[in-house]
Amino acid sequence: MPIAQTQSASSVKSTLKTTSDTFRLNRRQMIALKVMTDKTARHTLLQGGARSGKTFLAVRSNIIRALTYPRSRHLSLRLHRTTAEKYLWKQTLRDVIDLCFPQVGFVLNNSRLTLTCPNGSTYWFGGLDEGEKGEGLLGSDWNTMHYDEISEMPIEMVMQSRTRLSLKSYSTDRSRLCTNRSFATINPTFKTSWVYRTYIEKFDVEKNLPMEPDIAKGYNHYTINPEDNLENLSADFLHELESLSEANKRRF
């Protein structure tokens, strides 16, 4: 049953419970979810090989946040809008809805790449390089920003866009304030990349200095690999992985 505009806190919990009864996160995804909801960290990096389930988990988490906090706003980005539409909007989002939220009455706008929840929350998709174009994507305030394939993005653009994590949203009964967060998802990256240095080494690349302790505690990371997601992968894909060179196997 779709969630009503005037949904109660109990109805939200009921909806989320129903979805969890029909879909199970794998063990590593459940650990990753705890990392993503850490009380101290606000910026989480999920890294791992293709088909590990990291992007699926980020999109699923954004939808749960949207359903939990009425009229909240959430955003998933690739560097370019075209790849956001192709991989996130047309593939990952549809998989997440079909597997986790088949009974929720979402409204999808294919031209604007927006998902609207019955409680008025919205989930947008676009390109980081759109800037403040595209209906003001980066000129608006958000509760969540998800950067997919963040290693393709310039650090200056990411840091500037994160200043828009400023929207204040509450749960239906006003008992909980939404903790604004950013999630980043990538395939394994080099130790010299700004992403690795920022999220894992806790180094301020822009200032060329180690982060101050109070800033460093705002970052965390977790690794998920395809072998952790075997139950959701086809036999053909697994066979293909086994045939790769040792170097490529380590990459995955």
**What share of the chain in percent tops pLDDT 90?**
68
pLDDT band at 5 (very low <50, low <70, confident <90, very high): very low
Confidence of residue 232 (pLDDT cuts 50, 70, 90): low
- Pick from 103, 78, 104, 79: nearest CA to 92: 78
> What does the pLDDT look like over 107-121, one tens digit per residue?
999 999 999 999 999
The CA distance from 68 to 177, in Å, is 10
pLDDT confidence of 4, banded at 50, 70, 90?
very low
CA atoms of 238 and 121, how far apart (whole Å): 38
Residue 7 in this model has a pLDDT that exceeds 50: no
Q: Give, for 123, the enclosing helix (H) or strand (E).
A: strand 122-127
pTM of the model: 0.84
Q: How many CB atoms lie within 10 A of CB 203?
A: 17
Q: What is the pLDDT of residue 244?
A: 67
Q: How would DSSP label each residue in 128-146?
A: GGGTT-TTTGGGS--SEEE
Which residues are paired to 124 by β-bridges? 75, 114
Q: How many Å is the maximal CA-CA distance in the chain? A: 55
pLDDT of 26: 83
User: What domains sit in the chain, N to C, each tagged with a CATH number?
Assistant: 9-251 (3.40.50.300)
> b or e along 170-186 (b: 16 or more beta carbons within 10 Å of the residue's beta carbon)?
eebeeeeebebbbbbbb
What mean pLDDT is predicted for residues 208-221?
A: 97
The pLDDT value recorded for residue 133 is 61
Q: What is the pLDDT of residue 20?
A: 45
Q: Which residue has the higher pLDDT, 63 or 132?
A: 63
**Lowest mean pLDDT segment, chosen from 34-48, 64-78, 125-139, 145-159:** 125-139
